Amino acid sequence: MQEFSEFIDEEENWPETIRLEIIEYILRRHGALRAPDLAHILDWKVREINRVLRQLENSGRAKRMKLGKNYVWSPVEEPHLTPMHY
C-alpha cells in the first residue's frame, strides 16, 4: 500500500474527477437522461448526481434542457466531432 500513496497524494481530488468522467461517459454513450435515471443506474443519491451534473454544466461538458416538467441532461457536442457536410 505504501507504493500507491505517492499516486494518491499527487491528485487529492481524484474521486471527484472519476465521478465527473463516469457521468460524462454515460451521457455521451446513452444521450439525454434525467438525474433520477443516472442515480438509479449508478446507485447514487440524486443529490450527488445533481451536484456532479452542475459541475459538468459549469465546465461546459454537459447541458440541461427542460423537457415537460423535468430536466434532462445531455453531453455537449465537441466541435471537432461534428460531421462535416459537403
Give the Cα separation of 43 and 71 in Å (integer).
19
Quick check: is 27 in a domain? yes
Quick check: is 61 in a domain? yes
Q: What does the pLDDT read at residue 1?
A: 45
Q: How many domains does the chain have?
A: 1
Instruction: Name the residue range of residue 43's domain.
Output: 13-76
28-78 pLDDT, tens digit each: 999 899 999 999 999 999 999 999 999 999 999 999 999 889 899 999 875
17, 20, 22, 28 alpha-carbon torsion, rounded to 10°: -140
Quick check: is 84 in a domain? no
DSSP output for 1-60? -HHHHHHHHH-TTHHHHHHHHHHHHHHHHH--B-HHHHHHHHT--HHHHHHHHHHHHHTT
Domain CATH number, residue 36: 1.10.10.10
Q: What does the pLDDT read at residue 85?
A: 59
> How is residue 49 written as a grid cell?
448526481
> How is residue 59 written as a grid cell?
465546465
